[in-house]
Amino acid sequence: MGGFSPASAAQRCAVGIHTSPSSPVSRSRSRRQQQPAPPVRRRRLAAPLAVSRRSLLVPRAVAASTDRASPEVRTLPPPPSARKRLDGLLTSLPFLSCRAQAVGRFNLESNSELQVTVNAAPQGAIAEINFEATNTSGSLVLHWGALRPDRGEWLLPSRRPDGTTTFKNQALRTPFVKSGDNSTLRVEIDDPAVQAIEFLLFDEARNKWFKNNGQNFLIQLPTSRNQGQGASGATVVPEDLVQIQSYLRWERNGKQSYTSDQEKVEYEAARAELTDELNRGVPLEKLRARLTKTPESSERDAPAAKTTATKELEKRVSKHEKKKKYSVERIQRKNRDITQLLNKIKPGVTKEQVQAAPKQPTVLDLFTKSLQEGDDCDVLSRKLFKIGDKEILAIATKALGKTRVHLATNDVEPLILHWALAKKAGEWEAPPLSIAPSGSTLLDKACETSFVESELDGLQYQVVEIELDDDGYKGMPFVLRHGETWIKNNDSDFYLDFKTKVTKKAKDTGDAGKGTAKAFLERIADLEEDAQRSFMHRFNIAADLVDQARDAGLLGIVGLFVWIRFMSTRQLIWNKNYNVKPREISKAQDRFTDDLENMYKSYPQYREILRMILSAVGRGGEGDVGQRIRDEILVIQRNNDCKGGMMEEWHQKLHNNTSPDDVVICQAIIDYIKSDFDISVYWDTLNKNGINKERLLSYDRAIHSEPKFRSDQKEGLLRDLGNYMRSLKAVHSGADLESAIATCMGYKSEGEGFMVGVQINPVKGLSSGFPELLQFVLDHVEDKSAEPLLEGLLEARVELRPLLIESSERLKDLIFLDIALDSTFRTAVERSYEELNDAAPEKIMYFIGLVLENLALSTDDNEDILYCLKGWNQAMEMVKQKDDQWALYAKACLDRTRLALASKGEQYYNMMQPSAEYLGSLLNVDEWAVDIFTEEIIRGGSAATLSALLNRFDPVLRNVAHLGSWQVISPVEVTGYVVVVDKLLSVQNKSYDKPTILMAKSVKGEEEIPDGVVGVITPDMPDVLSHVSVRARNCKVLFATCFDPNTLSELQGHEGKVFSFKTTSADVTYREITESELMQSSSANAQAGEAIASLSLVKKKFLGKYAISAEDFTDEMVGAKSRNIAYLKGKVPSWVGIPTSVAIPFGTFEKVLSDDTNKEVAQNIQMLKGRLAQDDFSALGEMRKTVLDLTAPTQLVTELKEKMLSSGMPWPGDESDQRWEQAWMAIKKVWASKWNERAYFSTRKVKLDHDYLSMSVLVQEIVNADYAFVIHTTNPSSGDSSEIYAEVVKGLGETLVGAYPGRAMSFVCKKDDLDSPKVLGYPSKPIGLFIKRSIIFRSDSNGEDLEGYAGAGLYDRLVNFFHETQFTHMIKNSFSITAKECACFSVPMDEEDQVVLDYTTDALITDSGFRSSILSSIARAGHAIEELYGSPQDVEGVVKDGKIYVVQTRPQM
């Protein structure tokens, strides 16, 4: 921004200082006297962006119109003649001697003008320039610099008004001060060598520039300040030389880190050294020549062009100065509402897509299937070739000991097969006459056979079949002939390799490809061999497949990504026997990425996966950047005298087939040169990036040699290879920051000799400050302190986001820029880990917030992530406010964030891994690469970075909050054998024959404790009142959560050994013991985990009523759940509400089943019971589905309607018949839950007759809860009967008693001080359930009354057994029940709304007074019910508008 034209400046000085440009006279004089300015020129720019060599294309302060278009760019120093005229002008213009002189008035707009005055000053003193702009906005900025005769660019004075910022290190920006309708500003100049200032005005709010008749404003300073310098002997050293001298001193001193004061001392010492030289008589031009290594010449007449050495030195100095300047600088992030980043688009997979029938098979598909279905037919190899819009399929099979080759084509034109056999690559050998098909013609080295017409399912095709007599053949080369026209495979022979391994598809078990776009993946496999010829082929094939991927839905897009990912990780062949020009590769990349860009615009639900594909592919070469790869390597060899050896081998590879490996090779050469030619550094860089000697030798143009250069080649090679690396990254890297910025901001690189030139225009629509922001990022990208860089990267991504959401011009370039910013962010965070080792908690939380924001910007469905971010921001506010609960709250934020990451990881795994496994099997990808496919995707993203930060911070929080490393849920002393399992769910039905302590990596909360298990240790955090927690306490099983990963790892390492565990309410100790000690353990321990003593059930009968009201609830009619609710009515305090209830009594299900209308259902159930008796547990699911086929008897409908209406409950059928059908379906689901897996195996475990279980249905009107709670009136963890323990969730209680992830808010309250609840933990559950006014149907079995089961009976609620994501719910393959479909023990008539919770707006979290009131009321209700029953109680209830409702109670076990 600092360049200017001295010639035009001189004219402006002559006409613009003493008269007002707004007057007609002065304007006409200006037109007469003004000479045309020299043509605007630009520096030649290297492609793409080099931070140290050039800047982004940003507004510069030269002639431009006063509209919103940015000013032009000028970067060259002024020509000598112009400089002479300026020197003469600045020293000869008269200046009035008055103290304050009005320099001029300038019209800005019709009602606005600028007045400038200069206060004269004595020699060497400070000069003041005062500006006043009338009728302006409050966002006016002075964009300015100072002029000196010895400098060709703007000088940036060190004395600056408050608020001044540096723009691109080339200009200053100072805001005006608003005063009424006017804006004022004062600038002080203390450098006596400054003779003028040049400026423009910029209105930031309107993005509008103000200029002086299309030119810069120029104001001369009083000449008295500069007079007498030479005469008095005072010597002025040009500032650019002082900078260079300062830099050279810094290099000589070992590039030390200076403080700000030390920098000033060093700078002035450099000035003093140069001043001393000049005073000794050294000419200035000689001094400049020495410092800049230019030929000696007159200072005034120095040529405009600079030597290479000068440019390199200036580049080093500039970079050093910039580093110093920005060492502590940081951007000011805009205040935004975080929810503006909200994105609820989910990558949905419909059930129809998962189960979609494949497209109509082609005749070649049918032909393949007919071969594979043959007896004992093994497919040796299979290859599909494209011939125009037709295809030819070549298959080698082995059946009954015979090898056959089958060629089939859907081309119906007459074709001749011209073929041979080969025992080695490239060979053509005529086959023996004995194996040539009938009618064939033998030639010298080949055979010709006509295709035979055939038909399958009415589809026409042609075929040739050849039976071989020798297993020694390796393959079959062939071409086709149609008349006199030869048909080849893209100018090469077709070739079928007999030894290629092919995965059989037709005879798979049926599970292969499940959860994938199977047909699409098989299509990819068919085309892979053609894709291996070159990147050009692969990217063109990928472009052809884009539409097919889109038609297959999300799984098709995922399949395309998996294929491209296998390619980018070198699991697939990149090049095989095919030469291709770099520009052809980049053109194919452009075609493929253009197609992805179009899909990105039209299908927002796929954007997250499309970003991954683009990142793996690279940008490609716009403006023929790809060709520069081929051209520039020749220039490097020529300019640096390195035409042989390794450089020539690499040159041949680059010409033959460039690839992403070349980026690594180039970096390895650069590292080798920088290390003073240490060859081990070269190999270290290669090996770290997956390239070894074997890979170098595997290229079609192999690299055999190692690099070897002379010391005099070092400087030139580093310069040229650094530039070359940018060309390589521009084509091959999707995440390279410099090339991405350059492409969006625009650049130009001229050709040299035969080289092509490249010009990329800036992307339109970027905000006015965006170039500055990107420059800030580039200036700080290597800073040791990463925090300012991270802020800048995030600000850039947020600014970019609106353009990514809209269908912007050149969207692809913006996506690549966003990918590069994201990648740079992750790298910077990982670099900052050391910085965080001793950081305060506030700083670690700030970093976590930054990483969360970055993750949200890369995620399609980011609502949960954003609410996690809001939680962390609130935790930081609590720290500032010295809230002693901050660590406890932050721990909940941490737990929720971990859950969000786990959910994201599970989504990725279920979405990607099946495709990776199936396509990997089709393409023979290494098994290890397939196994870690999804893991590597996750590890390379922001989620892994965030997880590492959370792991660092967790022990800090636990220490501050005094939480320890354990949470003991069921405190029992046990001994047993350590066994490690992934999921408790996977072993819940297993029986262990010796005392076992499970190390379960996953516990959801609804599992059973397996027989023989005496302890469960897990890193998971099920609620203390979840089913598995209550069951553990009932069965006297140790159950504890361990938060220390090192402790868990240690225990898992002792698998198979015998350990003893002892607990307190807050800690666990353990030690290894001998088997003899185990045998001597207490009988209590030996009995722990065993099945409860024999129990019995009394079979209930139908007593003639289909529905009863609460006053008729007896143990013969309903279970304990219903009876307890009836008992509470009228006995609890008036401020505790009890919902109105009716019931469908015991025996009703059996009565309905016996009705004539349900005869067929009854027969099916009887048959399924027979299968269950034979341990065919798959019958359980079928049983539940069969129950749903029941028809309601008229009498049941009549009686239920009467009881509900008489109790004041709404009757669903009054709304519509459909509403009654919804209610009836809910009733049947409750009955069907009798055959839920958990309940069925529970009865078997205690040797109960499952047929004797009877189910009544409790019918209640739903209270649309604000909060739901569960109370244990004796603390279950400590056994303290003086203390109430409770858990609270937002919304309905299903998230608390069901298997929803996350923890509820927990608190304790002393019974003698119910007004002082103590919060133990804040909530981390991400989901809340809410529902409109509705009816709920609850299971109430005779199992509720069983001793030992009352606290968590056989029929607790289970609404969401897995809490699967939308994706896994639809495609997960498991014999177990799925959410709500088959395991619903409490079934609302209407679906609940799942809401992602924002706790920062929840008064229970943010308002301590409200929290204390609600928690105290909950505790009081529990205490009152315990008093009523005279024994500890397990109470469930809800809060609505501050009122407490109890929905059920039962004895606490």
CA neighbor of 975 nearest in space, from 993, 997, 992: 997
Rg (CA), the chain: 40
Entry field: residues in the chain: 1453
Q: Are strands 1011-1018 and 991-1002 parallel, antiparallel or unpaired?
A: parallel
Residue 344 tokens, joined: 């609820």
> What would the DSSP string read from start to end of 199-251?
EEEEETTTTEEE-BTTB-EEEEPPGGGTTTHHHHT-----HHHHHHHHHHHHH
Q: Cα–Cα distance between 148 and 162 in angstroms, integer?
A: 23
Annotation says 962 is catalytic? no
N- to C-terminal Cα separation, the chain: 78
Asked if residues 1037 and 1089 have their Cβ atoms less than 8 Å apart, the reply is yes
CA distances from 1336 to 113, 1217, 1225, 1242 (A): 74, 18, 12, 25
Question: Which of 1027, 1272, 1363, 1423 is flagged as catalytic?
Answer: 1027
**DSSP-derived pairing of the beta strands 196-203 and 758-760:** unpaired
With CA atoms as reference, report the closest residue to 416 among 443, 451, 464, 462. Answer: 451
Residue type, 205: A
| Both tokens assigned to 783 | 């800073």
> Look-up: residue for tokens 């004022």?
184
> How many angstroms from the chain centroid is the CA of residue 1250?
49
The token pair at 1430 is: 């005279």
* Cβ pair 731, 619 in contact under 8 A: yes
Cα torsion 969, 970, 973, 978: sign: negative
**Spatial CA neighbour of 289 closest among 272, 316, 307:** 307
DSSP codes, 1391-1416: PPEEEE--GGG-HHHH-HHHHHHHHH
Strands 1011-1018 and 1038-1042, by their bridges, are parallel
CB 62 within 8 A of CB 214: no
Task: Return the beta strands (E) in 989-1124 as ranges.
Answer: 991-1002, 1011-1018, 1038-1042, 1058-1063, 1068-1072, 1108-1109
Q: Do 466 and 405 meet the contact criterion of CB atoms below 8 Å apart?
A: yes
Q: Are 1118 and 1410 in contact (CB under 8 A)?
A: no
Residue 803 is given by DSSP the state: H
- For 1320, phi then psi, to 5°, come to -95, -30
**Closest to 1051 in 3D by CA, of 1038, 1070, 1078, 1032:** 1070
278-298: string of b/e by CB count within 10 Å (b at 16+)? beeeeebbebbbebbebeeee
Q: Which amino acid is at 130?
A: N
Angle (nearest 5°) at CA 111 between 105 and 112? 40
Q: Which residues contact 301 (CB under 8 A, 6 or more apart)?
A: 80
For residue 21, the Cα-to-chain-centroid distance in whole angstroms is 56
Closest CA to 1200 of 1338, 1336, 1107, 1334: 1107
Q: Which residues are catalytic?
A: 1027
